[in-house]
Amino acid sequence: MSGLSSRAWFVSGTAALGLVVLVLLALGAGRYPISASEVAAILWSHVDGTSRGGTADAVVWQIRFPRIGVALLVGAALASAGAAYQHLFRNPLVAPDTLGVSSGSALGAVLGIFLGAGFVAIEVAAFAGGLLAVGAVMAIASRLRAHEPLVTLILTGIVVASLLGAAISLVKYLADPYNQLPAITFWLLGSFAAASGGEVRSLLPAVALALIVLLTLAWRINLLALPEDEARALGVDTKRLRAIVIAAATLATAASVAVSGIIGWIGLVVPHMARLCVGPEFSRLLPATAIFGAAFMLAIDTLARSIAPIEVPPGVLTAVVGTPVFIFLLARSRRAF
Amino acid sequence: MTRLVACAGMVAALAAHAVSSFAATRITDATGRAFDLPARIERVYAAGPPANVLLLAVAPEKLVGWTRAPHADEIPFLPPSVAGLPELGRLTGRGNTANVEVVVRAKPDIIIDVGSTSATFASLATRVQEQTGIPYLLFDGSLAETPRLLREVGRAVGASEAAEALARDADMQLADVAKRIATVPEAKRPRVYFARGPNGLTTAPRGSMQAETLALAGGANAIEPPPGFSGSLVNISLEDVLLAKPEIIVASDPALAASLKTAPAWRDVPAVRANRIYVVPDLPFGWFDAPPALNRLLGVQWLARVFYPQLFPEPLGPVIKAFHRTYYHREPTDAQVRALLDVAGIAR
Amino acid sequence: MLDVRDLAFGFGSRRVGSDVTFSLARGETLAVLGGNGAGKTTLFRTLLGLLPAQAGSVQVGGDALHSLSPIERARRLAYVPQQHVPAFGFSVEEAVLMGRAARLSTFARPGESDRRIARDALARLGVEGLAPRPVTELSGGERQLVLVARALAQEAPILILDEPTASLDFGNRARVLSEIDRLRGTGLSIVFSTHEPDHALTHADRALLLAEGKPLALDASDRALTESNVAQLYGVNVRRVMAGGARSVFVVEEGRPGERR
């Protein structure tokens, strides 16, 4: 055990260090040319209060810094939610949108765009939509046959998500093709381009709260990975613990989708990568997953805004980059999930 | 005997009618499909919003309906006889909502569509034509070609005279603007950024169909199209905007303009610093790009004044009045004109 | 320790079994036998509090089962399910540590003393060497022993094992049973279900035979497991033969029950 534990700390520690390096690189990357020394000077000027503004300062401080913050938070949130869901459903193929949070958020945002709401209102609508969708799934599932609670949850989630998807299609159909439809399409593709200090401030409490809840309950969450009877016989109130974990994961996911649109793959694959490195024990898995997710998302977003003159949707890149990495890790691993 | 004469007369009249119906107009539309159209066209169906605006201008009495019913705030700008026409939906283009049976029930003699003429839309046009038996003509909607478009459509719907008058007016407008700005060298043209979308980072780059208004008014589109670009809109990042250093921003709606003025990240954009953010008026039809039809001519007049106030000293108010009267067949009141000028950010 | 009176059990509107009455004293071992579908698993789930009793009462250590919280139940009853391939590859030590859940507060993490108890549980079963291995890489018999270790880590006085030798090969079966024997002498009360009358004879003090949910016999193993009882239970002709020393085993004979050669 101590061998595995120290390896886990080593992996997490290295990842955290890598993350810091990545942040510094990301601050220097971008379409607006700023040298590394200039970046350092600008950062320092904000630390000691001598910042004088100017375009380069705005680019680093107003554009890149918040965008990096949002990417880190979204990456950590989606990956952690994915890890929690995979434990919860005892299934390594589950993703955070299994219970419909992405569809609910998407519908909220799409309705906001359709009704001509402002940017902030759209984000709020997306957040609320995600929470409501999962709430509905939980409410419906709890009234159905409880003997197989997980299967019931997943099936209800699929049905609700499908219904929400139909509603989204309907709104797209009715939307004005010149004004609203492009906005809807671009929102659904996902993007960090609109990240500002406001997004960081709204994302941080939601993600922090969710992660804290998951971290403090981390050891108990291991027990959810056991068959229902066993967990209950060990004294765990599985229904309540499940509800809390779903609530925390949904909070983090809805907040992320509201800010940056739908970005798939991170919640499904990063937990796998982390598991392959540190094992499934959740109190070790969660910090590693969060760090891996943050780093991965930041790398993807930095690529997305640097490799082409236009913004590449991050969801496209996560699939393109992540798939070979995942296959490589799978081929090399000797562990089970 | 009288009965025989009456019969002969009827037969002759029928024959004449038949012959006159067959006195066809030969038209080739922009996709190269040739049509033999009857000389008398009474009912015309507009397949999309640009065709709608065009037909409103050329032959409002022949229009059978709207692709989208006019909003309450658009109605005061439209002639009452047209404003009350039924909503029939859009046939093709992004987001078609028309039921083909609804179209058939409206019994149009001809369907007119203005917009992209690519193979996709050509085949869609052919398909609707086969389904309904109604001739479906597709025309190119480029702004610079508006005079030619007017003449061709005028001929197709049997309103050549009216169309000729409009075509001459459009020609004159475009030629006049082009002549005055021809004297301005490329380097002196103002750099303009067109902002769309909830966060202002969706734009129509240089060469895009949706930015024609800007180009024809003599502005220099601040955003270069990415390689291989063939559409109308792109998403960019704020860093690209800062790099492009636009002196003027044209925003698609007032809420967006307001948010750009206060967003801290946009503060260093030259256009924001100089407070040169203009909002596109959109009553009854947008002046810039929505829909992408001849309504944009007014936008060209507007932006020419914004970009080159010295070269275009004539006030915009009378131009608006004349334009609405000519193309929308309803002269706006002074109050309506003032409201439009307010949105457009122009004093007169 | 465990007092069951006129217990009726089932789920939803289905009644699976009834009229079960027995008392389990400290240190006693009870084997429960019955054909497939006789209700053994449902009975166990009711005894563990996973299903509500449909009639009658269950008392654990003098307290009514339904009045105990899940944590209290877990401190008094330890469940050993049939071994199965798990979804995730926890290490053996991590898996056994999960047995400490009822002894830790919600936000607490296992400490050094919990780890020591887990290691001791593994040692008692002779498998402490497995501690760092992932459970997905163990054999069936090893996994079953790990599940027993987890139950021991609960430090509950009553152990309930559901068919602990199912799907194990001959050798692993013997191994698991001998470990259970070793536990018998340590003051634990044990209930286990089995399909093998031989196991009940050799490894249990008393036997409860369930036929279609109703108790066919409840007595000391030797007296409960008669040829006719076993024949009735499984629908086969059996003969009980001596197998060396004081041991006897059951041998299946040809012919229908009741027919004698």
Residues B128 and B41 occupy one common structural domain = yes
Of the pLDDT bands very low, low, confident and very high (cuts 50, 70, 90), residue A1 is very low
Where a domain ends, among B148, B174, B200?
Answer: B174
A·B CB contacts under 8 A = 107
- Enter the ipTM: 0.89
* For residue A143, pLDDT beyond 90: no
Peptide bond into B291 cis (omega under 30): yes
Which chain A residues are within 8 Å of B268, Cβ to Cβ? 53-55, 58
Q: What is the pLDDT of residue A132?
A: 94
- Ordered by start, the domain boundaries in chain A are 2-98+192-332
| pLDDT per position as a tens digit, B50-75 | 999 999 999 999 999 888 888 888 99
Q: Please tell me the distance from the alpha carbon of residue C190 to that of residue C182, in angstroms, as a whole number.
A: 12
Q: Are residues B147 and B291 in the same domain?
A: no
DSSP state of B226: P
Given an 8 Å threshold on Cβ–Cβ distance, is C94 in contact with A222? yes
CA separation for the pair A209, A70 (Å, rounded): 16
Q: Which residue on chain C is closest to A283 by alpha carbon?
A: C109
pLDDT band at A116 (very low <50, low <70, confident <90, very high): confident
Q: Does B239 reside within a domain? A: yes
At residue A2 the predicted structure's pLDDT band, cuts being 50, 70 and 90, is: very low
Beta-bridged to residue C240, according to DSSP, are C250
Q: Which of B129, B125, B134, B126 is nearest to B44 (CA)?
A: B134
B83 & B141 share domain: yes
Residue ending a domain, choose from B118, B148, B174: B174
Residues B166 and B188 in one domain: no
Q: B290–A309: do the CB atoms touch at under 8 Å?
A: no
Containing domain of residue B296, as a range?
Answer: 184-344
What does A53-85 look like in DSSP terms, one character per residue? --HHHIIIIIIIHHHHHHHHHHHHHHHHHHHHH
| Residue A83 scores a pLDDT above 60 | yes
Q: Give how many domains chain B has, as a whole number.
A: 2
Asked if pLDDT for residue B16 goes beyond 60, the answer is no
Chain C residues closer than 8 Å to A280 by CB:
88-90
* Lowest model confidence (mean pLDDT) among B132-141, B243-252, B293-302: B132-141
Contact between chains at A177 and B95 (C-beta distance less than 8 A): yes
What is the arithmetic mean of pLDDT over A202-224?
A: 94
C48 vs A: CB within 8 A: yes
Distance CA(C220)–CA(C199), nearest Å, equals 13
Q: What is the mean pLDDT of chain C?
A: 88
**Who contacts B274 (Cβ-Cβ below 8 Å, separation ≥6)?**
B247
At C67-119, the pLDDT tens digits run 999 999 999 999 999 888 888 889 999 999 999 999 998 888 999 999 999 99
Top-level class of domain A2-98+192-332 = mainly alpha
Q: Do A178 and B290 touch (CB under 8 A)?
A: yes
Mark which residues 60-89 of C lie under 8 Å from A by CB. Answer: 70-71, 73-75, 77-79, 81, 84, 86-89
Nearest to C43 by CA among C61, C56, C27, C25: C56
Does A64 have pLDDT greater than 90?
no
What's the confidence (pLDDT) of residue A104?
94
**Residues B153 and B203 placed together within one structural domain of the fold:** no
A176 chain-B contacts, CB cut-off 8 A: 68, 95, 290
Confidence band, pLDDT 50/70/90 cuts, at residue A264: confident
Question: Is residue B331 located within the same domain as residue B259?
Answer: yes
C13 at A interface, C-beta within 8 A:
no
B250 & B127 share domain: no
Q: Do B235 and A118 lie within an 8 Å CB cutoff?
A: no
Chain C residues whose CB is inside 8 A of the A335 CB are 89, 134
In tens, the pLDDT along B217-250 reads: 999 999 988 887 777 888 888 888 998 999 999 9
Is the Cβ of A232 closer than 8 Å to some Cβ of chain C?
yes
Give the CATH number, domain containing residue B59: 3.40.50.1980
Look at A119 and B93 and tell me if their CB atoms are within 8 Å.
no
**Has residue A220 got a pLDDT over 90?**
yes
Whether residues B191 and B325 fall in one domain: yes
CA distances from A251 to A141, A203, A220, A311 (A): 19, 10, 19, 27
User: What is the DSSP track for chain C?
Assistant: -EEEEEEEEEETTEEEEEEEEEEE-TT-EEEEEE-TTSSHHHHHHHHTTSS--SEEEEEETTEEGGGS-HHHHHHHEEEE------SS--BHHHHHHGGGGGGS-TT----HHHHHHHHHHHHHTT-GGGTTSBGGGS-HHHHHHHHHHHHHHTT-SEEEESSTTTT--HHHHHHHHHHHHHHHTTT-EEEEEES-HHHHHHH-SEEEEEETTEEEEEEEHHHH--HHHHHHHHTSEEEEEE-STT-EEEEEESS-TT---
Listed in sequence order, the DSSP H helices in A115-227 are: 119-143, 149-174, 180-189, 197-216, 218-224
B150 is a domain residue: yes
